[in-house]
Amino acid sequence: MNDDDKDSGKDSGNDILKIGGEDYRSRLIVGSARYPNHQVLLEALRASGTELVTVALRRVNLDDPTGENMLSLLRRENFRLLPNTAGCYTVRDAVLTAELAREALGTDLIKLEIIADEDTLYPDAEKLLEAARILVDKGFRVMPYSIDDPITCKRLEDIGCVAVMPLGSPIGSGMGVLNPYNLRLIRDKVTLPLIVDAGIGTASDVAIAMEAGCDAVLVDTAIAKAREPVLMAEAMRAACEAGRKAFRAGRIPRKQFAEASSPTEGVVRSDID
């Protein structure tokens, strides 16, 4: 594979998102947890325009004789699946979960999560790096959920991950992107797709992440627990598209003082004789 074919967070001009050798038109990744029922889930996913949906293997009933489990519904709608290792606290459990997901779902794309503690649900950076090395060596295309630290994200890139997924704020908090500056630092250091994962609360949070140079945003609770999940999914889609366009267009520099937008030449002055 030559350099032109590698996945990159840099703007390629055609604005197709590449992750792990696959192309995506949508830059919104959506989770499948916490929805009131499967019908609302499907309607929200359709409204979001997403192509990639995260699933936790422990919540998927592969033996449901009715054929109407969540997995079969998602496949029927032609969504691509991103299994995750949610709920894992050790390297061993995360690697085992990833291997089970690959066998059950037929994909080596994995969202790697290793949680450090129950209070913050923050990622354990040390264990994350170790597990990422193991999974990359086993042929997985790893998308790690990490802290918003440019050094950790760069190390994950060097290991061979196909994307980096720093948090915006704690999982399910709805606090939004607490440190856009860190995202810009990561953007400068990492050439991989940069995806904000966790903490999104509303559409403006998505726009902020995209305007900071992120390539995509993963949203779950903010849609699933909204008063009207389908309407919120539409809002998230619009915000993702608007934020991406704003980033590509380039914002004007911030200035301390005002600058008139209209020319001052020829302005009538009553104080001049």
Q: How far apart are CA 82 and CA 14, in angstroms?
A: 24
Task: Spot the catalytic one: 10, 111, 138, 245.
Answer: 111
H/E element, 23: strand 22-24
> One-letter amino acid identity for 177?
V
Q: Give the CATH H-level superfamily of domain 9-249.
A: Aldolase class I (3.20.20.70)
Which pLDDT score, from 0 to 100, does residue 2 have?
39
pLDDT of residue 66: 41
pTM: 0.85
* Residue found by looking up tokens 């915006």 in the block: 168
For this structure, is 111 an active site residue? yes
Q: Where are the domains of the chain?
A: 9-249
What per-residue confidence (pLDDT) applies to 173? 86
pLDDT at 262: 67
Residue 13 phi, psi dihedral angles, 5° rounding? 100, -45
pLDDT of residue 171: 85
For the record, the structure tokens of 228 come out as 């009207």
Per-residue pLDDT of the chain in tens (273 residues, 90 and over written 9): 334 444 555 544 568 999 999 999 999 999 998 999 999 999 999 999 999 999 987 655 555 444 457 788 888 889 999 999 999 999 999 999 999 999 989 999 999 999 998 888 889 999 999 999 999 999 999 999 999 999 999 999 999 999 999 999 888 888 889 888 899 999 999 999 999 998 899 999 999 999 989 999 999 999 999 999 999 999 999 999 999 999 999 988 888 888 777 666 666 666 655
Cα gap 68→74, rounded to integer Å = 10
For 64, half-sphere exposure in the C-beta direction (CA atoms, 13 angstrom radius) is: 12
